[in-house]
């Protein structure tokens, strides 16, 4: 959840809307702090941060007239991207991590889906 909160903030607020907000967890010394600190993290706080970032992402989305809107900031690898690109990327991001969670759950309880 910490990672997903970080990517919601990164893509929608920092890149799309161009907001000058710091990363939630990443620091100069630990760019992977959203993962590295998760084992000792507060679960309720992680869910609250994710939920808050989703709400703020929806506000950034509402300000865009359409999916072909370009980001206010450039990305390191792709330059400016469209909201459409971000939405597809986020579907992939969530699908990937939901798959990871499903694999972990299967290892714990042995239950598998259809």
What CA–CA distance (Å, rounded) separates 111 from 101? 13
pLDDT higher than threshold 80 for residue 110: no
Q: What is the mean pLDDT of the chain?
A: 90
Once rounded to an integer, what is the mean pLDDT over residues 93-111?
Answer: 76
Find, among 49, 99, 90, the residue nearest to 67 by Cα: 90
Phi, psi of 53 (to 5 degrees): -70, -35
Give pLDDT, residue 85.
97
- Give the span between the Cα atoms of 76 and 89, in whole angstroms: 15
Give percent of the chain with pLDDT exceeding 90. Answer: 69
pLDDT in tens, 75-93: 988 899 999 999 999 999 9
Q: Three-state DSSP class for 79?
A: strand
Torsion angle in degrees (nearest 10) through CA of 75, 79, 84, 88: -50
Using pLDDT thresholds of 50, 70 and 90, give the confidence band for residue 114: low
| Confidence band of 57 (pLDDT split at 50, 70, 90) | very high
Q: In angstroms, what CA-CA distances link 37 with 20, 34, 55, 90, 93?
A: 24, 6, 24, 23, 20
Q: pTM here?
A: 0.84
Chain centroid to CA 83: 14
């Amino acid at each position: 959840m910490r990672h997903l909160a970080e990517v919601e903030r990164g893509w929608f607020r920092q890149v799309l809307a161009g907001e000058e907000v710091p990363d939630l967890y990443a620091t100069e010394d630990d760019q992977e702090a959203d993962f590295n600190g998760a084992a000792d993290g507060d679960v309720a706080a992680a869910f609250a941060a994710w939920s808050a970032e989703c709400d703020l992402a929806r506000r950034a989305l509402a300000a865009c007239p359409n999916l072909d809107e370009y980001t206010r900031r450039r990305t390191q690898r792709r330059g400016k991207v469209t909201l459409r690109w971000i939405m597809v990327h986020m579907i992939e991001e969530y699908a990937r991590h939901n798959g990871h969670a499903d694999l972990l759950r299967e290892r714990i309880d042995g239950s598998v889906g259809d």
